[in-house]
């Protein structure tokens, strides 16, 4: 190892403390724990472990309120990923995580390493990853950086996932000016493992060897966790050295080597090196096991000269794992990793000291008690204020001055950045691997077969930030309910969610109020829908120069389809002459709607969002799932952004079959303005098609579920009432062209 003396003896000043993201009070806590002034390496370790990214110090108080248990939950939050029972001795392991700040600074590598990191979280637990999802949010299309960021992020996700051979089967892409200076890149991975072969991270066995495997350590990503825990300013791009660089080909080797070793009895504990690298992996393994760890840093494989202990411990170089092995298994493990052309090094041992001790050059460069490093990490109940309620916007007021036909409005909506086809994005991803992708991107939820069986997983991501900013409680409810609805519409029983809580600066009471409100709403929905949170990530300080993003609690949902040959239905119209049946009540709610955002000068920021009746969500969804399972419907799609007419258009385009819609002629819905009925974004609604609507309506009446026939499938047109029609070809051109045309501009 290089000369470490300057690092050990460097004077800790208030400026250095601040540069490490610690407050004066937090540093006083460090001094109390240590009983002395820390060395630079020790200060760096406290800095990253107490960063927002690693400690959740601003969010932990609220996260504890989320429901995390259900009979099918095997492992909830706290491990690398969540684990649920999917039957037949199999488990689904999944998680969503953010790579927002790195992706804004360097979009290709930021997005690529985000995918690599979430893949490692999943296969660390013994699962073979089977599918990726993502939730991407960019600034206004006209912003000078947006096109560059879209291109880089999509290429990075596709490049890494494609090289790994893990299909990307769906996701979201949204645009809004609030993300101009801080894009969101949320990546989700789903894997499958045998329930009796799940691996955890708690170190155990005094004297057992601690092993480093994977790639060598470099200087990339140092203080990445700290960087991700602070807001941006005009100099944010200067933080490029904090962005990691990934190699998917090495990750593929690491995946196969780890799974091969996991098939033996050699591993006691395993942890990937993600945020904060060797620091967080060693501290978490030690803390969970109630043991200490001692490292000889001279044994760590490095790819750069003269790396200091500080740099080695804080590096976020990719494609690395830390393991505790059973004694005597070292040679076997070494042979496996060397066969896969990966580094393997015994760098330390488990101790009974409950301390993290680091040696380099024959000297102790770090000696920190582990329990207080974790247990005494700051936890703040930050001041917060509730978001002021927005007034409910009556349909007549919302439509005042709007002179547009339903079909013209539809054409504008499907050609808008918000609702246009994402084909340009997902065609850059491998989404068909091993022939197990049953439903490819573009529907309510992706469907991936459990290999070799007729069971399948349904996977979705969802969030409506424009609702969350207007009413965080309703927005939180809606995000969970929408994910639940997407899974239900695919025929799946929703089982659990992972979340990615993307917000601005939590030190601002109004931002903390958004966070608290979203958590409250999510909690309500998770409880009402038996849809617990089993994993997740928090990303705060998403703002630039004091301008925060829209509150974005992204939800990743997973559901189970018992028999993929029987229990699913089409997303698009499947046959001509079928009745189109609307499930759920329509009040014509236009507050925060896409119609206002795209077709009026209010830009979607007027009024309150639609209320979420969770009892209705449960009742209507369970009924629809029953219809699908009994084969009573030929197609199903939930109603969300853009309301009924956009949902009908999406079904028509997906199936290549047009439809004729009839406006209501009786009841309260007949009194609504046509545009409100067609484009209102009331919740708890589905569109289903059936050749036998009478039987379906009778079943709905018996179940107490609102249902009406609103049209019939057929023709090459989409017709609304009398004299309003648009051809499917014109609709498809409008829908498909915006994004490729936008990205083609040089």
Which residues carry out catalysis? 53, 99
Q: How far apart are the first and last CA of the chain?
A: 48
- Answer for the pair 133, 118: CB distance below 8 angstroms, yes or no: no
Tell me how long the chain is: 746
Spatial distance between the Cα atoms of 540 and 538, rounded to a whole number of angstroms: 6
CB neighbours (10 Å) of residue 147?
Answer: 17
Using the Cα atoms of residue 7, residue 9, residue 12 and residue 15 in order, give the sign of their dihedral: negative
Name the token pair of 36.
Answer: 């002395």
In the 8-state DSSP scheme, what is residue 612? Answer: -
Burial class (CB in 10 A: 0-12, 13-18, 19+), 525: buried
Spatial distance between the Cα atoms of 717 and 182, rounded to a whole number of angstroms: 41
β-bridge partners, 170: 133
- Answer for the pair 131, 189: CB distance below 8 angstroms, yes or no: yes
- Answer for the pair 203, 293: CB distance below 8 angstroms, yes or no: yes
Reported as half-sphere exposure (CB side, CA atoms, 13 A), residue 201 has a value of 26
φ, ψ (nearest 5 deg) of residue 487: -65, -45
| Residues near 238 by beta carbon (within 8 Å), at least 6 away in sequence | none
SS3 for 70-137 is: CCCEEECECECCEEEECCCCEEEEEEEEECHHHHHHCHHHHHHHHHHHHHHHHHCCCCEEEEEEEEEE
Which residue do the tokens 């690395």 mark? 320
């Amino acid at each position: 190892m290089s000369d470490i003396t300057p690092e050990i003896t460097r004077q800790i000043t208030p400026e250095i403390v601040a540069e490490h993201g610690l407050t004066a009070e937090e540093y006083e806590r460090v001094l109390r724990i240590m009983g002395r002034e820390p060395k630079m390496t020790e200060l760096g370790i406290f800095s990253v472990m107490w960063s927002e990214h690693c400690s959740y110090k601003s969010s932990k108080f609220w996260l504890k309120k989320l429901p995390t248990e259900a009979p099918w939950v095997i492992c909830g939050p706290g491990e690398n990923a969540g684990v649920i029972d999917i039957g037949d001795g199999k488990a689904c392991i999944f998680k969503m995580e953010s790579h927002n700040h790195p992706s804004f600074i360097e979009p290709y590598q930021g997005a690529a390493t985000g995918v690599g990191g979430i893949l490692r979280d999943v296969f660390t637990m013994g699962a073979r990853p089977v599918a990726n999802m993502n939730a991407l949010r960019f600034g206004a299309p006209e912003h000078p950086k947006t096109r560059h960021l879209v291109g880089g992020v999509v290429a990075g996700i596709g490049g890494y996932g494609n090289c790994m051979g893990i299909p990307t089967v769906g996701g979201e892409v949204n645009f809004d000016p609030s993300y101009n200076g801080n894009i969101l890149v949320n990546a989700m991975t789903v894997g499958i493992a045998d329930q009796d072969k799940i691996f955890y991270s708690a170190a155990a066995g005094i004297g057992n060897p601690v092993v480093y495997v994977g790639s060598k350590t470099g200087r990339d990503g140092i203080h990445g966790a700290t960087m991700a825990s602070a807001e941006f300013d005009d100099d944010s791009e200067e933080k490029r050295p904090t962005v990691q660089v990934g190699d998917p080909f090495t990750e593929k080797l690491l995946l196969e080597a780890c799974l091969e070793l996991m098939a033996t009895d050699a591993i006691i504990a395993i942890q990937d090196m993600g945020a904060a690298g060797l620091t967080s992996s060693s501290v978490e393994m030690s803390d969970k096991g109630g043991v200490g760890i001692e490292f000889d840093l001279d044994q760590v494989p490095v790819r750069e000269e003269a790396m200091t202990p500080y740099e080695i411990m804080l590096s976020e170089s990719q494609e690395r794992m830390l393991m505790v092995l059973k004694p005597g298994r070292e040679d076997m493990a070494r042979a496996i990793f060397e066969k896969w052309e990966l580094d393997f090094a015994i760098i330390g041992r488990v101790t009974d000291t409950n301390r993290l001790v680091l040696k380099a050059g024959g000297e102790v460069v770090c000696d920190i008690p582990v329990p207080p490093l974790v247990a005494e990490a700051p936890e703040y109940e930050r001041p917060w204020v509730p978001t002021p309620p927005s007034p409910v916007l009556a349909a007549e007021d919302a439509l005042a001055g709007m002179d547009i036909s339903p079909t013209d409005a539809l054409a504008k909506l499907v050609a808008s950045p918000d609702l246009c086809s994402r084909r340009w994005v997902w065609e850059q991803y491998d989404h068909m691997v091993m022939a197990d992708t049953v439903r490819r991107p573009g529907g309510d939820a992706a469907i991936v077969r459990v290999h070799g069986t007729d069971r399948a997983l349904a996977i979705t991501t969802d969030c409506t930030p424009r609702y969350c900013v207007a009413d965080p409680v309703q927005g939180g409810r809606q995000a969970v309910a929408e994910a639940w609805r997407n899974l239900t519409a695919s025929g799946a029983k929703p089982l659990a969610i992972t979340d990615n809580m993307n917000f601005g600066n939590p030190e601002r009471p109004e931002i903390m109020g958004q966070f608290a409100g979203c958590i409250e709403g999510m909690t309500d929905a998770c409880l009402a829908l038996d849809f617990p949170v089993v994993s997740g990530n928090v990303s705060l300080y998403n703002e630039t120069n004091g301008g925060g993003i829209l509150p974005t609690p992204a939800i990743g949902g997973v559901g189970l389809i018992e028999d993929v040959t029987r229990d699913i239905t089409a997303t698009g119209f499947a046959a001509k002459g079928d009745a189109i049946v609307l499930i759920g009540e329509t009040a014509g709610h236009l507050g925060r709607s896409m119609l206002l955002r795209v077709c009026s000068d209010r830009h979607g920021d007027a009024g309150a969002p639609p209320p979420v009746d969770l009892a209705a969500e449960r009742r209507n969804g369970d009924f629809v799932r029953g219809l699908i399972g009994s084969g009573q419907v030929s197609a199903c799609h939930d109603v969300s952004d853009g309301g009924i007419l956009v949902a009908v258009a999406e079904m028509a385009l997906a199936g290549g079959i047009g439809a004729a819609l009839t406006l209501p002629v009786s009841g309260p819905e007949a009194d609504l303005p046509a545009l409100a009925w067609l484009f209102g974004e009331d919740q708890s609604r589905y569109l289903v098609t059936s050749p036998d609507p009478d039987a379906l309506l009778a079943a709905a009446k018996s179940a107490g579920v609102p249902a009406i026939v609103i049209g019939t499938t057929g023709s090459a047109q989409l017709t609304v009432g009398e004299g309003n029609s648009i051809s499917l070809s014109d609709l498809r051109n409008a829908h498909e062209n915006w994004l490729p045309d936008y990205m083609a501009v040089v």
